Amino acid sequence: MSNLFYQTKSPRPLLDRAQGIYMWDVDGKRYIDGSSGAMVSNLGHSDPDVLAAMRAQMDKSTFGYRLHFQTESSEELARKTAALAPEGLNKVFFVSGGSEAVESTLKLARQYVLTQGQAQRYKVISRYPSYHGCTLGALAITGYAPMAAPFDPMMQRMPKIPAPRAYLDGLDADDPATGLHYANMLEAAILQEGSETVMAFVVEPVGGASTGALVPPAGYMQRIREICTQYGVLLIHDEVMTGGGRTGRFFGAEHWGTVPDLIALSKGFGSGYVPLGAMIARDDIVEAVMQNGGFIHGFTYAGNPLACAAGAAVLDQIAKRDLVGNAARVGAVLQERLEGLMQRYALIGDVRGKGLLTAFELMADRATKAPLDPALNAHARLVDIAYDNGLIIYSRRTRGGTSGDHFLVCPPLITSEAQVDEITEILDRSLAQYMA
Ligand code: PMP
């Protein structure tokens, strides 16, 4: 009997070891890590260069409290992170995960508006569906009812606008009018809330767990930027899942060339080697806050030397091996293979994504986009079948947590085309078994 309590409904085997895109349980069964955990292990498992960098750091020091010491590894990782970030965003604040990164953007935004004499700005508009984390602040802006509902009395739920889901609304995602249609919902919400009360808007450049790799329609990200600038609303990009190269660019928003005011980063940033995340902020925002008493926020383990040494080694490997380029190339092949499966299985209603942030959605009717009966539990059943066949994929309810079944197929960025074929073959077999 285990003393742990996590959410896993069906007990999973004990993990023994992992290498590259493969993992083995203690019985010697091999699994393909087809979702990089939860879109985390971008570099694959047990990368010798990252392990060597971690060992070297461990031999020197594993912890130095950030208020007692500067550390070389945190300075180095901050420098490398800022170099990858858009121009004007050079200030980095380390944390230990995605929720902490998002929470930090909200706290810095609030302290910044206070320095600007705008104490009445506190509302954070986000989207429905969305996922931004499980701490109470991040949950207040998360558009996923089943996770937020029990905690409603304990937090101030923030306003939400619909996330663009052109495929469900029968709109053409390539038509710039569609992007405008959804982006203008932000303007309407700002005006309805009272623009003088709105502090920030938070968006995942490509939808993650909640929508399943949903790419925004043409013009959406650009128009969102314009609206935020027009109303003095800070734009926060939640790149916790999209950042670190997963979409075929280091930051997901690079696909649209839009620059936010604040960025939350995690998952692939530590690539599963250490708990690591970061907030990246516009220089003048940080300067204003630091000149007015400093940032009233921080986590004890943040910026510890071991996590930062691993993070710096991860960034080095991503650059050295052109893993961002590989994500774009191999992601295109994976999407093509999934489209091939879609031609053979009527059950697959949609295939989507960018780079190796790739998903497919099962539907009862591809033409009407009707979801499967939630009682069928397709999202859990297909995952279990694939798991038995040695492939790990990640599924969620697509339609705000109550119905719909999407599956994220997001192997590490080191995945080869031959390994994509291996993944496709197991998926094919698993879908056939699901249908049987
Ligand atoms: N934001 C996004 C976009 C995420 O995908 C996640 C995790 N799924 C989080 C925030 C929260 O990250 P963590 O679980 O590391 O706290």
Q: Can you give the pLDDT at residue 399?
A: 84
Which of 289, 304, 320 is at the close of a domain? 320
For the chain, percent of residues with pLDDT exceeding 90: 93
Give the pLDDT mean for 361-373.
Answer: 96
- Asked whether residue 98 is domain-assigned, the answer is yes
92, amino acid identity:
V
Mean pLDDT of 384-411: 93
Residue 256 structure tokens? 């649209």
Calculate how far, in angstroms, residue 429's C-alpha sits from the geometric centre of ligand 1. Answer: 31
| 241 Cβ closer than 6 Å to some ligand 1 atom | yes
Q: Is the pLDDT of residue 146 over 90?
A: no
The pairing of beta strand 123-128 with beta strand 198-203: parallel
Query: Region 126-144: what's the mean pLDDT?
Result: 96
Same domain (yes/no): 297, 187: yes
Q: Mark whether 286 and 429 lie in a shared domain.
A: no
pLDDT at 121: 98
Span 382-392, pLDDT tens digits: 999 999 999 99
The per-residue pLDDT for 66 is: 87
CATH for 95: 3.40.640.10
DSSP strand pairing (262-265 vs 348-354) = unpaired
The encoded tokens of residue 84 equal: 């990858």
Is the pLDDT at 11 greater than 90, yes or no? no
CATH number of the domain to which 26 belongs: 3.90.1150.10
What is the Å distance from ligand 1's center to 209 Cα?
9
Q: Ligand 1: which of 241, 251, 301 to mutate, judged by most atoms within 8 Å of the beta carbon?
A: 241
Residue 78 has φ and ψ, to the nearest 5°, of -65, -40
Same domain, 423 and 336: yes
Q: How many helices (H) and strands (E) does the chain have?
A: 14, 14
Distance (Å) of CA 330 to CA 335, 414, 416: 9, 9, 7
Q: For 85, which DSSP code?
A: S
Q: Which of 275, 305, 320 is the last residue of a domain?
A: 320
Cβ distance 348 to 342 under 8 Å? Answer: yes
H or E element that contains 207 = none
Q: How far is the CA of 277 from the centre of ligand 1 (A)?
A: 10
Q: Which residue has the higher pLDDT, 315 or 10?
A: 315
pLDDT at position 3: 79
Q: Is the pLDDT of residue 380 over 70?
A: yes
Q: Could you tell me the CA-to-CA distances from 269 to 13, 161, 245, 258, 309 in Å, in that order? A: 27, 29, 9, 21, 12
- 375 in any annotated domain: yes
Question: Across residues 276-295, what is the average pLDDT?
Answer: 98
The pLDDT-based confidence of 19 (bands split at 50, 70, 90) is: very high
Would residue 360 count as lying in a domain?
Answer: yes
Tokens of 242: 């999209």
Mark whether 91 and 230 lie in a shared domain.
Answer: yes
pLDDT digits (tens, 9 = 90+) for 321-358: 999 999 999 999 999 999 999 999 999 999 999 999 99
Q: Could you identify the atom of ligand 1 that is nearest to the CA of residue 267?
A: 15
DSSP state of 134: S
Average pLDDT rounded to a whole number, residues 187-197 = 98
Mean pLDDT of 185-202: 98
* pLDDT at residue 400 is higher than 90: no
Q: Residues 6 or more apart from 119 whose CB is under 8 A from it?
A: 113
Strand-pair category, 394-396 with 405-409:
antiparallel
Q: Where does residue 253 rank: exposed (0-12), middle (13-18), buried (19+ CB within 10 A)?
A: buried
Mean per-residue pLDDT over the chain, rounded: 96
Q: Considering the domain boundaries, does residue 160 fall inside one?
A: yes
Residue 157 has pLDDT above 90, yes or no: no
What is the number of domains present in the chain?
2
Looking at the structure, do residues 244 and 287 belong to the same domain, yes or no?
yes
Q: Which residues pair with 22 in a beta bridge?
A: 19, 32
Q: 413 is written with which tokens?
A: 């960025």
Q: Is 7 part of a structural domain of the chain?
A: no
Q: Could you list the residue range(s) of the whole structural domain that residue 370 is in?
A: 15-47+322-435
Q: Which ligand 1 atom minimizes the distance to the CA of 38?
A: 8
Q: What ipTM is given for this predicted complex?
A: 0.99
Same domain as 170, residue 119: yes
Which strands form 22-25's sheet, in the order they lie side by side? 15-19, 22-25, 30-32
Q: Are residues 79 and 20 in the same domain?
A: no
